[in-house]
Amino acid sequence: MSTPNPFSQPSFLPTHAIDYAFAGIGAGTVAVLCMNPLDLLKVKFQVSTRGPEGGIGRGIWRALRDIHASEGWRGLYRGLSSNVAGNAGSWGLYFLFYNQLKRRATRVRILFFFFPQPPTFLTLSQGAVTAILTNPIWVVYVLWSGFRAIFSDEGWAGLYRGTSLALVGVSNGAPQFMAYEKMKSWAFERKRRRV
């Protein structure tokens, strides 16, 4: 079962790499616009010393209602700019690096000897690069503090706080991209059979 080469199709932008980067940026932006209120609550609950009242479901609903009542829609979208920068940037870089590495990996067959599932290696490597590049954005977002304030107080070390845990977290993407590649090849195969 062979998957058609997506790079043989014409590019919408100057290169396929930029196509994938913009697709990731768009997906990250849409996801943040839809989910920012819940992401805000996640951070709020993570730093809280007590659990949500009335269980998690009611606690989420009450917290959203209370924020909206006291601060309006603006309160539910607090931190939106850094969240968009972090997510859109992360997903843009993620897809850019994933597709660039995938394209190069098909030319370097030795890689397949060491990693029989290329998406595993590609996901881990590009995930690590993305985590390192975007970690300062997430530190600023989680601490709700300014970039300059953190940098002047703690320097580069402050902006890269938590990077080791972020690098451990990149393993989460490997199964997702393996499933993505498999479903994509099934879809292309199914489409090829219909033609």
pLDDT in tens, the chain (195 residues): 455 555 566 777 788 788 888 888 998 899 889 988 988 888 777 777 676 677 777 888 888 999 999 999 999 998 888 888 888 888 888 888 877 777 776 665 555 554 545 556 666 777 788 888 888 887 877 776 777 888 888 888 888 888 887 777 777 666 666 677 777 778 788 888 887
Tokens 């269980």, residue located: 55
Give the torsion sign (CA, 174, 164, 142, 26). Answer: negative
**Quick check: 32 and 87 in contact, CB under 8 A?**
yes
**Quick check: 131 and 120 in contact, CB under 8 A?**
no
Q: Which of 148, 127, 125 is closest to 136 using CA atoms?
A: 148
- Neighbouring residues of 121: CB distance < 8 A, sequence distance ≥ 6: 105, 111, 114, 115
Q: Would you kindly state where each structural domain of the chain is located, as residue ranges?
A: 13-194
Q: Which helix (H) or strand (E) holds 85?
A: helix 80-105
Residues 39, 42: Cα–Cα separation, whole Å: 5
Task: Give the pTM.
Answer: 0.61
CB 148: neighbour CB atoms within 10 A? 9
Q: How many helices, marked H, and strands, marked E, lie in the chain? A: 8, 0
